[in-house]
């Protein structure tokens, strides 16, 4: 009959069919668990239901049918042996995969056994139960890590291309070279006449400005007699654009006041030019002298002088803004800062061969930004179709970073 199978019979049959030591332990465990159920003998259907509960992954219908025949016929059928081997191999593969997850228990396994959720891992001597929320959370974390690793090479390439574009378009090296040349030219070459070393008070600043500052700005020039113009050069290659602005800051009691003048276009400067055409240096000197002496200003009330002027370098197509700041602190010290900022107005330089390379890098960068935007738009549409909950879950930390990256890429 079908009701004459004991737990010992199940252990003997499974041990004989399973063979290896680890699967024999599993057979003994299954037999002990079956014996603890309170019955001496079991119908084959009860044994099949017990196996369905205990074995994970579940055996197929064909495998269960082969086991059924093996027990009913009381002989070692080849189908029954193959079915047991198949189930065992499935369980072993599952157990090996579980062992490789170092956070297998901590992430989503509940150490307490829950009826109906018992899972036997073939190569392990313990039983654990799955908690659904922790299981889903662990899968999400693993998926996020995998996504981050798969997108890492593309992100690194994106950063490298972006850095190349920044260095190429900003022309950092050539801008620094131009800025340094302007700063050194304005400061002066003679150590006894440099602004940074010889400005100790208002009188010494005025001495530097009249003997080195204005003559340095208006030193080299070329005349165009046909057009009645004069071009001034700073640091050999940079042409003075427009006028020079002189600004002064004073303290009147507890309040500060600022006044300034454009030297050439001031009334005194224009008066000098009308009397001496093309003598822009003399006009600047006359305007500066008028500014310093009228109205009469106490030197102790002056807190800062600033000189500003613009230049252009046609050879490298760069504009420059130079600012000289001489600040007199309340403690008596003097801080001199000479700063020049250069700006390149040539995005592609095809004369030295780098223009083609920069165009190629630009094209790669645009393709990468468009690809990232296309992928993220697809994800947004897919999550929106699944409902509001999925759409909200999409806006996690990494996806927000992706959209910030896209926005910066499009803006740049």
Task: Give residue-wise pLDDT tens across range 275-304.
Answer: 998 899 999 999 999 988 877 777 888 899
Task: Tell me what percent of the residues of the chain surpass a pLDDT of 70.
Answer: 64
Please name which of 289, 181, 275 lies closest in space to residue 236, comparing C-alpha atoms: 181
Q: What are phi and psi of 200, to 5 degrees?
A: -110, -20
For 228-368, where are the E strands, in sequence order? Answer: 229-234, 238-252, 255-262, 302-313, 318-328, 334-344
Is the model's pLDDT at 229 over the cut of 80? yes
Q: What is the pLDDT of residue 189?
A: 78
Is the model's pLDDT at 241 over the cut of 90? yes
**pTM here?**
0.56
Cα distances from 111 to residues 29, 114, 294, 365, in angstroms, run 18, 9, 91, 51
Is the model's pLDDT at 129 over the cut of 80? no
Q: What is the pLDDT of residue 312?
A: 95
Q: What is the pLDDT of residue 228?
A: 83
Instruction: Kindly state the tokens that stand for 217.
Output: 């700005």
First-to-final CA distance of the chain: 82
Instruction: Kindly state the tokens that stand for 177.
Output: 């070279």
Q: What is the pLDDT of residue 273?
A: 92
Which range, of 83-87, 139-143, 144-148, 302-306, averages the lowest pLDDT?
Answer: 83-87
Distance, in Å, from the CA atom of 46 to the CA atom of 7, rounded to the nearest integer, reads: 12
Q: Which residues contact 167 (CB under 8 A, 6 or more apart)?
A: none
Is the model's pLDDT at 332 over the cut of 80? yes
Is the model's pLDDT at 99 over the cut of 50? no
Distance, in Å, from the CA atom of 204 to the CA atom of 44, rounded to the nearest integer, reads: 111
Q: DSSP per residue over 371-395, as a string?
A: HHHHHHHHHHHHHHHH-HHHHHHHS
Distance, in Å, from the CA atom of 6 to the CA atom of 354, rounded to the nearest integer, reads: 85
Tell me the per-residue pLDDT of 348-399, one tens digit each, with 9 for 90 and over: 777 766 778 888 888 888 888 888 889 889 888 988 888 888 888 888 877 8
At 326, is the secondary structure helix, strand, or coil? strand
Task: Tell me what percent of the residues of the chain surpass a pLDDT of 90.
Answer: 21
Instruction: Tell me whether strands 238-252 and 255-262 are parallel, antiparallel or unpaired.
Output: antiparallel
Q: What is the pLDDT of residue 122?
A: 36
Mean pLDDT value of segment 46-67: 60
Q: What are phi and psi of 229, to 5 degrees?
A: -130, 160
Residue that wins the pLDDT comparison between 260 and 58? 260
Q: What is the pLDDT of residue 100?
A: 38
Sign of CA dihedral 15, 20, 25, 26: negative
Cβ–Cβ under 8 Å, residues 311 and 322: yes
Residues 119, 120, 124: CA angle, nearest 5 degrees? 130
374: exposed, middle or buried (Cβ count in 10 Å: 0-12, 13-18, 19+): exposed
Q: What is the pLDDT of residue 152?
A: 72
Is the model's pLDDT at 306 over the cut of 90? yes
Q: What is the pLDDT of residue 200?
A: 87
Assign 118 a pLDDT band (cuts: 50, 70, 90). very low
């Amino acid at each position: 009959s079908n009701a004459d199978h004991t737990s010992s019979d199940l252990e003997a049959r499974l041990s004989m069919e399973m063979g290896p030591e680890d699967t024999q332990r599993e057979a003994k465990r299954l037999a002990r668990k079956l014996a603890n159920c309170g019955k001496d003998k079991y119908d084959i259907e009860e044994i099949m239901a017990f196996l369905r509960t205990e074995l994970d992954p579940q055996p197929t219908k064909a495998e269960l049918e082969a086991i059924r025949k093996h027990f009913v016929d009381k002989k070692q059928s080849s189908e029954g042996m193959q079915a047991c081997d198949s189930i065992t191999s499935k369980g072993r593969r599952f157990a090996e995969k579980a062992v490789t997850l170092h956070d297998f228990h901590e992430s989503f396994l509940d150490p307490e056994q829950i009826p109906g959720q018992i899972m036997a891992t073939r190569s392990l001597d313990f039983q654990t139960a799955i908690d659904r929320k922790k299981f889903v959370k662990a899968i999400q974390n693993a998926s996020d890590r995998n996504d981050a690793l798969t997108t890492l090479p593309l992100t690194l390439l994106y950063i490298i291309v972006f850095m190349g574009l920044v260095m190429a378009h900003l022309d950092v090296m050539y801008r620094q070279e131009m800025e340094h040349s302007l700063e050194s030219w304005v400061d002066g070459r003679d150590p006894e006449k440099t602004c940074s070393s010889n400005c100790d008070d208002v009188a010494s600043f005025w001495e530097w400005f009249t003997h080195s500052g204005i003559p340095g700005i208006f030193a080299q020039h070329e005349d165009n007699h046909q057009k009645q113009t004069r071009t001034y050069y700073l640091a050999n290659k940079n042409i003075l654009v427009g006028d020079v602005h002189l600004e002064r800051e004073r303290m009147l009691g507890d309040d500060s006041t600022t006044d300034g003048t454009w030297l050439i276009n001031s009334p005194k400067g224009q008066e000098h030019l009308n009397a001496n055409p093309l003598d822009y240096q003399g006009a600047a000197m006359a305007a500066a002298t008028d500014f310093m002496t009228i109205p009469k200003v106490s030197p102790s009330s002056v807190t800062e002088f600033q000189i500003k002027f613009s230049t252009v370098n046609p050879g490298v197509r760069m504009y420059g803004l130079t600012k000289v700041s001489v600040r007199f602190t309340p403690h008596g010290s003097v801080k001199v800062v000479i700063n020049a900022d250069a700006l390149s107005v040539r995005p592609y330089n095809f004369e030295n061969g780098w223009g083609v390379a920069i165009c190629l890098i630009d094209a790669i960068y645009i393709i990468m930004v468009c690809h990232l935007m296309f992928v993220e738009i697809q994800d947004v549409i897919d999550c929106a179709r699944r409902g509001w909950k999925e759409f909200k879950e999409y806006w996690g930390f990494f996806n927000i970073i992706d959209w910030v990256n896209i926005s910066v890429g499009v803006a740049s």
